[in-house]
Amino acid sequence: MKRSTFFGIGITFLVLWLAHSSQAQTPQPASKDPQPVIQELLGEVRQLRIALQHMSVNAYRGQILLERLRLQQEQVGRATRDLSSVRNEIGEIKSTLTTAKERLDDAEKQFDKGVMSTTSVSAIRNSFQELKRREEFLNEREAQLSIEVDTERTNLNDLNKRLDALEREILTTSVGDDAKKNIKK
């Protein structure tokens, strides 16, 4: 019995010793230092804050550009309506001038025949001259308004380009962020 007892105790010690040595060889999960994890999280929080600030600035810039674009469209519309109105008025004056010229020619012929008085011919001539001056003024105004419309359209196109550039910047930033996220995964 002593032999079997010693043998059983020996085997028990052997099993316990093997279990203990195998447990010592398996890597124990080292108590991780939380510092690198915290630093990584802080880095991500900073990146998120920067991204939010960038988005906020872009949203603000977008709102300003949209408001300026709306105002500029109103300016272009107003200048275009003014130009159209002046052109319509020039057309009306030209047709009135044709009629007034015919009336003046008839009045001068009647004056030469002695049928019409000098004052009547002078009134018709003054009316004709006033129409000519109005036509010249409107032609100058048309030229000014044409330049103004071109300038306003150029400004509108510039604002559209700036808005397009902001949109591209936002898309590029979001595509870049998506690419960074995919790389980290």
Q: What is the pLDDT of residues 34-53, one digit of tens each?
A: 788 888 889 999 999 988 88
Res 110 pLDDT > 70: yes
Most confidently modeled range among 5-9, 116-120, 153-157: 153-157
pLDDT at 178: 57
For 66-81, what is each residue's pLDDT tens digit? 999 999 999 999 999 9
Query: What string of H, E and C letters represents the secondary structure of the chain?
Result: CHHHHHHHHHHHHHHHHHHHHHHHHCCCCCCCCHHHHHHHHHHHHHHHHHHHHHHHHHHHHHHHHHHHHHHHHHHHHHHHHHHHHHHHHHHHHHHHHHHHHHHHHHHHHHHHHCCCCHHHHHHHHHHHHHHHHHHHHHHHHHHHHHHHHHHHHHHHHHHHHHHHHHHHHHHHHHHHHHHHHHHHC
The token duo for 144 is: 């000014």
Mean pLDDT for the stretch of residues 162-170:
88
Distance CA 147, CA 118 (A): 44
pLDDT of residue 170: 82
Q: Are 166 and 58 within 8 A, CB to CB?
A: yes
pLDDT of residue 167: 87
The most confident of 28-37, 49-58, 82-91, 112-121, by mean pLDDT: 82-91
User: What confidence tier does 33 reach under pLDDT thresholds 50, 70, 90?
Assistant: confident
Structure confidence at residue 145 (pLDDT): 96
Long-range contacts of 167-170 (CB under 8 A, 24+ apart): 169/58, 170/58
Answer for the pair 142, 45: CB distance below 8 angstroms, yes or no: no
Does pLDDT of 175 surpass 80?
no
